[in-house]
Chains A and B, each alone.
Chain A
């Protein structure tokens, strides 16, 4: 086998072996993955880690990912989840509140809650949008200086 054939065989074996390895090893990582998305069965309820903005006009609404500090929905979810699990809900709440205070479309927001809400996922789309259970981990006021 000449050098070029050896190189082709080596690269092919290593790349295919590496890509397949997590299926044996069982641990998801990057770029080697078990591709777990959509594979683990979900129940009909969803625990959602999110930040809810409370409005003085009763237009309470979830805080979007951009205000959590990322443009990715899933990254926002993980950021909140990690903050809750590592006991950092309060500083996260304060950071988001500072961003909310700078956005004119959130002028009606006076406080934020970092929370886990549990929803009936299928019922949600039939109109039942109330959480079945809730846990609040941090509450913070939106700083409103002279600008308000």
Chain B
């Protein structure tokens, strides 16, 4: 059974995660247009792009980027969401898939794509949207399971992604991933590669390599957090503990390997585990209190 949720919770998730995806699309404009410079031999299509035999003409890529931005704005505003919701989800997925079709798959983007997809396929614009204003009848949208299932699905996808990452480690290395030098070698390998590619590296990672006894416990902890991810679906308190643990794991990855998993590190990946509308209400109350205080001073 899916618990009911308020329409505003799903709506705020749409606004915040949609805005994040939109800003990401804008910030990464150089990357989307950068593919226009790549050699055709670099083209290794992935996901939906495997339908293509060759890269798109430049005009199609440029058109896709602008369409994604336009649909993203509509998605955040909740304007004609029945079309723009799935539309943005599809355009965003195709754009990122195209970008990932040039020899390097960026695993930092998968979860964000799934969350946007679920939001786009749910009734995420029944509140806090232009659509809701047009339809306004005086009654606020109700608390209903139809707003609960997309949130629950986003949580399930989040834990599944981490569970799969844990299973992949066991599949490829077994328990030796914990008991051997696997993690130490990863940290060393990744930092050497960065330095020898003329890029920044994680100073802390290089420093810790002299303390090799640290790595098996760190490996056990990170594997445990990944394999234990499904527990987060059992109870909100367990979810909060798991979110803190997995976020700390990403901080660790940043510090020792200089890999920035932006979506989870900035907290957006874990918003579906929380009552985001309560945070919005508290923020509104705080702003109102500050305003009234400044009026009294004046």
User: Which residues from chain A sit less than 8 Å from chain B, CB to CB?
Assistant: 4, 8, 11-12, 15-16, 19-20, 22-23, 28-44, 46, 48, 50, 61-65, 69-79, 81-83, 86, 88, 91-92, 117, 119, 121-122, 124-126
Q: Which B residue sits closest to A117, measured CB to CB? A: B196
Q: Which B residue sits closest to A12, measured CB to CB? A: B153
Q: How far, in whole Å, are A25 and B189 apart by their CA atoms in the complex?
A: 28
Check A40/B172 contact, CB under 8 A, given A23-B167, A32-B47, A48-B196: yes
CB-based contact A119/B192 at 8 Å? yes
CB-contact partner of B96 in A31, A61, A125, under 8 A: A31
CB-contact partner of A74 in B38, B104, B182, B209, under 8 A: B104
- Most chain B CB atoms below 10 A, which of A31, A48, A77, A119: A31
Closest-CB distance, A115 to chain B (whole angstroms): 10
CB-based contact A16/B192 at 8 Å? no
CB-based contact A15/B153 at 8 Å? yes
Which residues of the other chain, A, contact B227 by a CB distance below 8 angstroms?
none
Closest-CB distance, A46 to chain B (whole angstroms): 5
Closest-CB distance, B43 to chain A (whole angstroms): 10
Which residues of the other chain, A, contact B161 by a CB distance below 8 angstroms?
19, 35
User: What would be 29 A-B contacts, judged by CB atoms less than 8 Å apart?
Assistant: A4-B146, A8-B146, A16-B156, A16-B160, A20-B164, A23-B168, A29-B46, A30-B105, A30-B109, A31-B93, A35-B107, A36-B172, A39-B173, A41-B176, A42-B185, A46-B192, A48-B197, A65-B197, A69-B38, A71-B30, A73-B194, A74-B104, A79-B42, A81-B103, A92-B39, A122-B188, A125-B188, A125-B206, A125-B210
Number of residue pairs spanning A and B whose beta carbons lie under 8 angstroms apart: 192
- Most chain B CB atoms below 10 A, which of A16, A40, A73: A73
CB-based contact A78/B196 at 8 Å? no
Since A20-B164, A39-B173, A125-B207 are in contact, a sample of 19 more A-B pairs with Cβ atoms closer than 8 Å, ordered by chain A residue number, is A16-B153, A19-B161, A20-B160, A30-B46, A31-B93, A31-B96, A32-B47, A35-B164, A35-B165, A37-B107, A38-B186, A41-B180, A46-B189, A62-B198, A73-B194, A75-B102, A82-B103, A83-B41, A125-B191
Q: Which B residue sits closest to A77, measured CB to CB? A: B197
- Most chain A CB atoms below 10 A, which of B118, B172, B199: B199
Closest-CB distance, A59 to chain B (whole angstroms): 12
3 cross-chain pairs, A with B, having the tightest CB-CB distances, nearest first: A64-B198, A121-B188, A78-B103
Contact with A along B37-52 (1 / 0, CB 8 A): 1110110001100100
